[in-house]
Structures are given as structure tokens and as C-alpha cells.
Structure 1
């Protein structure tokens, strides 16, 4: 029996158990089935030396576990990106009335005025961090300042903006 056929047989024999193993890790049977299929693609064509059935099965379980944890890591990153705390005046939205549009434009003018009155480094720090999505470390590296200074620039700017703009129910 060829090594590929041997591995294919192990996969087919233990497929249901692998799905059952991955389901509690991922929280859904559908995601577990996808992971087990991905594991099959990585497991069967391997050109490794011939190993015993137990070693091959352990290797297959390890592949499933690692792929499941990779999925969980990607989910955390995606959730973190979705939870970005952007100010209300940055988020795109549909305009409902001319009055609301005028109030929103007025708020944007206030923000622009506050940013224009700031020192150039502080303005760049705010724009990079709040609009560009850069981390404070990246902002600090770009400007050649400490991370604490970059944080202070952003915090002071956001406080000035908050003082200038009254929250409007837009």
C-alpha cells in the first residue's frame, strides 16, 4: 500500500472523530468540517517517511488543532478590527434631512478648525492614528517622538474636539 493511500485510509476512518474534536474548539460543526477538509489537504499528499498508524493519526489531530487555533486567531483579529472606536463624525452614514446635513457639515468645520490650530506634529499624529488606522507606536516612529508623546497629542486633540463639538443626535 502506498503512503498516500495509507494516509487517506486513516483520514477516512477518523474523519467523524476529527470533526467532533474540532467542533468544541471552533464552536460550530460547519467550521470544524471545513478545518478537517483543510487538514486532509495538508495530511494526505505529504512525502514524509512511512510512519505507524498511531503517529500518522497523532499528526492528523495536530494539524486539525493547529488549523482550528489559526481560525480562532483570525476571528479575534477580525473582531478587534470591527470594534474600532471611531468618533461618530468619521463614520460614513446616510443623510436624512437638510438640517442634519448642515449640522454634520458644521461639526466637520469645527473639527477641521481644531486640527488646523494644532502644531503640525500633533495634527499628523491625530490624522495618522484616528483616520489612517496607525498604532501609536507607528505614529511615534514616523514622527520621531516617544509613544507617550504621540498618545498625549492624540488625547489632547480628541479632548479639544470634544469640547468644541456638542454631541448632536444625528
Structure 2
């Protein structure tokens, strides 16, 4: 096992090279010096089982470089996580509950649209409901109602104009 004196010698002899190595990874000399100091604190020699002092110091140096590398990469990962741009995941955001007034307003508006649709001729109402609510194309609406595509478009447009003008008139 490498003794404490050998660890100190390996560290002090290679400190400048370790700082340069960490600087290349993290991009900041000040941060690299902090990492090298942290590496020395964590530095524990490999068990050499009676190996020569030269061989054990080489193993210790490789181990020290590995500690510096791992600490540098951990710092980079931590920075990436902390500085993520963009929105947090949707499931972590609190849900805004509508106020009772909002619920009443939306309910009244839906009731009003339902009344407007009930007053429309059946063919016009079905065309609007199929196209806007059912997601059918105008061709599919025309085929279902046995009318031309232009007539289906005219029915949808007429119904939408009736809904929009009635809601605008009620709002003012």
C-alpha cells in the first residue's frame, strides 16, 4: 500500500499538470483548481500488495487523474441539469383552476351556441356539426348530405357566420 508521504509527493509533483488537465475539461482555471483540491481530499492510493515505490506512485498518479476527470465530468453534468432551458415538464406545473365566474361564462356561451344551432335548418346544422365538431372534410359532408361540395361549404359558412354575429351582438 502506498503511504501518505508518497501520496503527497505524487500530488505536489503533478498538481500543475492536474490543474491544466481539469482546465481543459471544465474550461475554467479557478474551477479546475477547486476540482484538483477536491481530488486530493478523495485521493486514496490503490493497494499495490508490495509493489515497488516507483510502480505504486505511477498507479497513484493514474488514480489521481481519474478522480480529477470524474469530478470534472460530474461538474459539467450538474451544470447542464441546473441550467436547462425551456419549460418544466407539464406534469410538474400547477393546474390553474377556473373560477366559478369563468365556468358560468363558458357554460352560458355553450348554451347560447347550442340555441343558435337549434334554430338553424337541419341540413345546415348537420353540415356544421360534421365539419367543425366531427372533423369531416367538406367532401365527406357533401357525400353524407347528398349535396355538392360548394353547397356544403356554403352551409358551414352560413352557420359559422350566424354563430359569430349572434355571439358578437349578445356581447355588446
After TM superposition, the score normalised by the length of structure 1 is 0.46
Question: Which of the two has higher C-alpha Rg?
Answer: 2
After TM superposition, the score normalised by the length of structure 2 is 0.46
